[in-house]
């Protein structure tokens, strides 16, 4: 089983040794900078991208890059001429192999653990990850396109100070399930900023997460029992009206996990009773002062 993280690290080393920037590498391989960034960080494992990489660099040792022997590589659709192993180990010269556009076997499979999934991102001009925004109207499409780099690049994106170390995504809040009795919490139309969690097993009890499932997206406070005899993630609502029962999810129902970090809201909490009373007294005093001036 090939490891996308290892491939990304080896490719990064190759680019550094040859003084090739990620932007230049993307141009050489006929792909976007975001796609190259995903590969270098082990987040993208689509075979078409690796075909572009192997055809884009003339002296890249693909046996070393993919930890493969010649026999395995031939089964993947690579054909050789002359002394295959000797030629592939050479640092310079024309490529002694040809990459079939539709090989019989995929070059890279998903990571061994089904609980860890790659995630697509986009980049800004400074090669920092954007925060992609998924509004309500785009959430149905997101369920179909979350693994598609081209789709993710169509989402609105932005940057925020303090949200550079990690992969973040913004989701618009729907409904009142996370609104508390005192109107605290998450209101419809709020925009939550959330950090990507590689594995559902990393979910911590009592924290708020956006859980992407085949049926939609849930903003819930979670209790993690995925390592139990009957593995389940219990998704609870902060709204205690009784209209929002707990939702138990099995591991195979969890597509993506995003931990809540910040909230953008248009709602301003009303003042408390004491604040209202003080304001009323201040107003009365101001009026009395005006009367005394007359």
On whether both 77 and 177 belong to a single domain, the answer is: no
On whether both 256 and 138 belong to a single domain, the answer is: yes
On whether both 84 and 139 belong to a single domain, the answer is: no
pLDDT of 100 higher than 50: no
Amino acid 10: pLDDT: 85
Q: Is residue 110 part of a domain?
A: no
For the residues 262-276, what does the mean pLDDT come to?
Answer: 75
| Confidence bin at 3 (pLDDT 50/70/90) | low
Q: Is residue 112 part of a domain?
A: no
Domain boundary among 81, 99, 117: 99
Amino acid 86: pLDDT: 46
Task: Output the CA angle 44-49-50, nearest 5 degrees.
Answer: 95
On whether both 169 and 64 belong to a single domain, the answer is: no
On whether both 95 and 135 belong to a single domain, the answer is: no
On whether both 135 and 213 belong to a single domain, the answer is: yes
Q: What is the CATH classification number for the domain harbouring 20?
A: 1.10.260.40
| Confidence bin at 71 (pLDDT 50/70/90) | low
| Confidence bin at 89 (pLDDT 50/70/90) | very low
| Confidence bin at 290 (pLDDT 50/70/90) | confident
On whether both 80 and 12 belong to a single domain, the answer is: yes
On whether both 93 and 152 belong to a single domain, the answer is: no
CA–CA dist 72, 225 (Å, integer): 40
Structure-block tokens of residue 165: 């170390």
On whether both 135 and 257 belong to a single domain, the answer is: yes
CA–CA dist 118, 46 (Å, integer): 11
For the residues 22-32, what does the mean pLDDT come to?
Answer: 83
- The proportion of the chain whose per-residue pLDDT surpasses 90, expressed as a percent, equals 35
Query: Could you give the number of structural domains in the chain?
Result: 2
Q: Are 171 and 193 in contact (CB under 8 A)?
A: no
Classified as helix, coil or strand, 285 is: helix
Q: What is the CATH classification number for the domain harbouring 185?
A: 2.10.109.10
| Confidence bin at 115 (pLDDT 50/70/90) | very low
CA–CA dist 11, 294 (Å, integer): 83
Q: Using the 8-state DSSP alphabet, how is residue 2 labeled?
A: -
Amino acid 245: pLDDT: 93
On whether both 47 and 160 belong to a single domain, the answer is: no
CA–CA dist 195, 202 (Å, integer): 12
Residues 6+ apart with CB under 8 A from 124: 130, 157, 159
For the residues 268-281, what does the mean pLDDT come to?
Answer: 66
Average pLDDT, the chain: 79
Range of the domain at 196: 131-264
| Confidence bin at 248 (pLDDT 50/70/90) | very high
On whether both 233 and 148 belong to a single domain, the answer is: yes
| Confidence bin at 108 (pLDDT 50/70/90) | very low
On whether both 94 and 16 belong to a single domain, the answer is: yes
Task: Output the CA angle 15-31-112, nearest 5 degrees.
Answer: 75
Return left, alpha or beta for 141; rule: phi > 0 is left, psi -120 to 50 is alpha, else beta. alpha
Question: pLDDT digits over 184-224, tens only?
Answer: 899 999 999 999 998 899 999 999 999 999 999 999 999 99
Classified as helix, coil or strand, 69 is: coil
pLDDT of 29 higher than 50: yes
């Amino acid at each position: 089983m090939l490891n996308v993280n290892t491939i990304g690290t080896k490719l990064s080393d190759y680019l550094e040794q040859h003084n090739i920037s990620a932007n230049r590498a993307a141009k050489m391989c006929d792909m976007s900078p975001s796609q190259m960034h995903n590969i270098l960080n082990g987040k993208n494992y689509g075979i078409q991208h690796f075909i572009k990489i192997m055809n884009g660099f003339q002296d890249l040792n693909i046996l070393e890059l993919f930890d493969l022997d010649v026999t395995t590589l031939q089964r993947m659709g690579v054909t050789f001429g002359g002394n295959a192993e000797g030629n592939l180990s050479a640092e310079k010269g024309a490529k002694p192999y040809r990459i079939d556009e539709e090989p019989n076997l995929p070059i890279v499979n998903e990571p061994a653990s089904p609980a860890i999934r790659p995630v697509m991102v986009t980049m800004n001009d400074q090669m920092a990850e954007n925060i992609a925004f998924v509004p309500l109207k785009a959430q149905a499409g997101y369920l179909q396109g979350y693994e598609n780099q081209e789709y993710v690049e169509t989402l609105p994106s932005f940057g925020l100070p303090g949200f550079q170390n990690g992969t973040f995504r913004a989701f618009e809040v729907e409904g009142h399930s996370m609104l508390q009795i005192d109107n605290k919490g998450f209101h419809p139309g709020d925009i939550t900023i959330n950090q990507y969690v590689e594995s559902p097993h990393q979910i911590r009890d009592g924290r708020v997460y956006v859980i992407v499932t085949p049926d939609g997206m849930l903003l819930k406070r979670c209790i993690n029992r995925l390592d139990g005899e009957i593995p389940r993630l219990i998704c609870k609502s902060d709204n205690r009206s009784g209209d929002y029962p707990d939702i138990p999810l099995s591991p195979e129902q969890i597509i993506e996990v995003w931990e809540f970090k910040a909230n953008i809201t248009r709602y301003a909490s009303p003042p408390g009773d004491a604040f209202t009373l003080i304001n009323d007294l201040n107003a009365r005093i101001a009026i009395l002062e005006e009367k005394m001036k007359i």
